[in-house]
A = this chain, B = another copy of it.
Amino acid sequence: MNQNFKKIFPSFSNVLVEDINANAINQSFVTGDVIMRTGQYIKNTVLVLSGSIKIYREDDDGGEFFMYYLQPGQACAISMICATKNEKSQIMAKVVEDVELVMIPLPLMDKWMMQHRSWYEFVIDTYRNRFEEVLEVINSIAFKAMDERLEFYLKRHKDACGCKDLKLSHQEIATELNTSREVISRLLKKLEQRGELKLHRNHIELLK
């Protein structure tokens, strides 16, 4: 796993990787598992080795507002931030594709900041990227109408999975954009007519 790990987190120094191997816990989850809930205390920082996790905010009445995906080589910024303060989670994390994780216990996450330059940079980098991503999300909902928000949503999914075939139902999209299925169906139809994509049952084929 040592070899593999260096490939997924190439910026980590050898000493850091040794420290991780010695202290962190490996854990696996399968699709559908919820590994973090709103209000739950966070005890670990999570590094993703394989698979994919959806990070979202939950509404009082079942809305699941999509924020971003965690992919291999990434870490959960929120778990890092909360970890240092032993805070409750403000977000939900659900497994989209079976994942292998490395759990870094809270005190180590903090200690390594001072000891390993490459860890420090990784953490700061994670903060920055997520903060920016979240700012983008704010832009899209604050300034854009639903049609543009849908396009933004599809684009982010394309970027995240690196493919043009999105396995999403209209209902799922509607939930994640906090609107109704009918609205999404209609807007997708328009995009199809414009030649932007092709609709299939349970998946959407992007053409551009």
Contact = CB atoms under 8 A, between A and B. Distances in A.
10 contacts: A65-B139, A77-B131, A82-B128, A85-B124, A87-B128, A134-B134, A138-B138, A141-B141, A142-B178, A143-B178
Interface string A48-64: 00000000010110010
Interface string A113-143: 1100000100011011011101101110111
Interface residues of A, number: 34
Interface in A70-126: 77-78, 81-82, 84-85, 87, 90-91, 113-114, 120, 124-125
Contacts of A81: 124, 127-128, 131
B131 A131 contact: yes
A67 interface: yes
Given A81-B127, A84-B128, A138 B141 contact: yes
Q: How many copies does the complex hold?
A: 2
Interface of A: 57, 59-60, 63, 65, 67, 77-78, 81-82, 84-85, 87, 90-91, 113-114, 120, 124-125, 127-128, 130-132, 134-135, 137-139, 141-143, 178
A72 to B, nearest CB: 22
A137 B113 CA distance: 29
A135 B91 contact: yes
A113 B137 CA distance: 29
